[in-house]
Copies of this chain bind each other. A is one copy, B any other.
Amino acid sequence: MPRNKSYSDDLVLEKAMNVFWVHGYEATSVRLLEKEMGINQFSIYASFKNKKGLFINTLQKYRQLVIETSFQPLLQEHAGFAELERFLLNLTTLKRSKEIKKGCLIVNTAGELGEKDPEIAHELNLYYDFIRNMLLRVLQNAVAKKEIPENTDVEKQAGFFLGVMQGVSVASKTMDKTRLNDFISIALAQLK
């Protein structure tokens, strides 16, 4: 009986994600969103409740998307030092593509909103925990494969590389590619 939606929630969500990614949360207006998403304000509020609801959906979409693409090499069962190295060095070219230095949406959000909103903070923590666990597994694999010393404190190192990733995200907005590569290569070399 009902009339059908003329748009896909998933598709417009991806467009919203890019808007938030470029402008941040506060600086993104609902007017701009409806323009870029190609749907009316009414539809935005009907599908995602309000601006914050849309943003949280956006963060979830981002996590899903990054896991499906960038993180894929690190999520392979056998991923070790080589995969970590390639992944990190890839970041420098990835983040700076399209002449727009967008950084990581999650890190941007942590920087802008921190823990001011509990729901959003929860979303950030989900992301960070996922990364920490992923890195932990990679480092354990690297130890098992004898790519890094046996006595490596993999827990600490996982936290360290999470910090490095956050640093790369903000540094990518002001550092040039060479310096970013230096930053990463030192972080990696330290694993021996």
Contacts and interface: CB of A to CB of B under 8 A. Distances in A.
Interface of A: 24, 26-27, 101, 103, 107-108, 110-112, 114-115, 121, 124-125, 128, 156-157, 159-160, 162-164, 166-171, 173-175, 179-180, 182-183, 185-187, 189-190
Count of identical protomers in the assembly? 2
Contacts of A163: 164, 167-168, 171, 175, 179-180, 183
Closest 7 CB pairs of A and B: A167-B167, A111-B111, A190-B190, A163-B183, A114-B173, A160-B186, A156-B182
A190 B164 CA distance: 14
Nearest to A114: B173
13 contacts: A26-B26, A26-B27, A101-B115, A103-B111, A111-B170, A112-B112, A128-B174, A156-B185, A160-B182, A160-B187, A163-B171, A163-B179, A167-B167
Nearest to A121: B174
Nearest to A173: B114
Contacts of A159: 175, 179, 182-183
A9 to B, nearest CB: 28
